[in-house]
Structure 1
Amino acid sequence: MIAIFSDTHSHRGHELEGAALSAAREADAVIHAGDFTSAAALEAFQGECDRLFAVHGNADSAAVRDRLPTARTVERDGIRFAVTHRRDGGATGLSMFGRSRDADVVVSGHTHRPTLVETDDAVLVNPGSYAQPRGNTPGFAVVESRTDGFEIELRQPDGTPIDAVERSRE
């Protein structure tokens, strides 16, 4: 299982609780789409996760930006993820970013709105913000790999499902 988070916006720590904290601890890998805000939040995440693959966001401190890239590609469980905090051009820009990295899944943040969008090339997932939803439903995502494909599920911090997408391998 792969857990996906974004937009922590904390000066204290990871702010994880409930099912979100369990997912981070139990995941084979954790992807974070930026805006930890502080080095304390980044380090707290690193303390909870065996494998953290993160990018920095626009609200991250210089200490976080110096440690993380703007974008990255991660391959786990036969799924290729293109990760960025945000891309100009909305869904089209994210799709082009994913295509340039031959991604199955494009992970982004910034809007604080949990969203799943299926395109011909990839699934666009924004896990939202579990800690600072700013009027949106708080969220995070989990990805389960299967022999015939994968499933991405958006969840609220208590584990309540928000939305899901299944994708088969072609």
Structure 2
Amino acid sequence: MTARSSSSSATRIGLISDTHNLVRPEALRYLEGCDALIHAGDICKPEVLDALAHIAPLTAVRGNNDIGEWAAALPTHARLSVQQVTILVVHDIAELGCVPRDEGIRVVVSGHSHKPSIVERDGVLFVNPGSAGPRRFKLPISAGMLTIEGAQVSACFDALPT
């Protein structure tokens, strides 16, 4: 994946997961203006990816609910480099085991739990943007953002108005 260049030296990567075939207009507005997008799985229909790809270059992985021929073409893991930061994308963090320390992974983006979270462990930033799809339990509808400048990375997530 190659991110579009922006007017500043920072690259903004929109994070979305667990859309479960629901493309919320609020999510599309949140992701507008990003240099790139990551979808961390449970897409459920290829039209979701089509809608996101109109915003920015897209990296997506297959989730446990992504089935069919279109989904078989999606990887279960994806790795991308943005500026000096290597990002690993996986749907279910439990499938990852441990982060390969010798491979320079700085950020792991995952989904599956529908719970937004940002945790740094041993120099690796673990980001789950939560779910932008149908509401599950009392969890928020959310999406996230990575901002990368050189080797520096920061993450946030935001509840989307619904």
Tell me which interval the TM-score lies in, with the shorter structure as reference length: 0.7 to 0.9
1:156 paired residue number: 159
Q: Is the 8 A contact 2:85 2:150 kept in 1?
A: no
Q: Distance in 2 between matches of 1:61 and 1:89?
A: 18
| Aligned-residue offset at 1:78 | 2.3
Tell me, which stretches of 5 or more residues in structure 2 are unaligned?
1-11
Tell me, which stretches of 5 or more residues in structure 1 are unaligned?
159-170
Q: Distance in 2 between matches of 1:148 and 1:67?
A: 31
Q: Is the 8 A contact 1:98 1:104 kept in 2?
A: no
TM-score w.r.t. length of structure 1: 0.78
| Aligned-residue offset at 1:98 | 5.3
Identity %: 31
Q: Secondary structure at the match of 2:105?
A: coil
Compare relative contact order (CA 8 Å, sep 6+) and give the higher one, 1 or 2: 2
Deviation readout 1:75-100 (Å, 9 max, x if unpaired): 1132211000013378xx3xx13536
C-alpha RMSD of the superposition: 2.1
Q: How many residues were matched structurally?
A: 149
Q: Distance in 1 between matches of 2:43 and 2:156?
A: 22
Deviation readout 1:104-143 (Å, 9 max, x if unpaired): 1101110111011110130111111022241212211111
Q: Distance in 2 between matches of 1:143 and 1:33?
A: 13
Q: Distance in 2 between matches of 1:98 and 1:117?
A: 17
Relative distance call for 1:44 and 1:147 in structure 2 (3 A) is: closer
TM-score w.r.t. length of structure 2: 0.81
Runs of 4+ in 1 over 4 A off after TM superposition: none
| Aligned-residue offset at 1:147 | 5.1
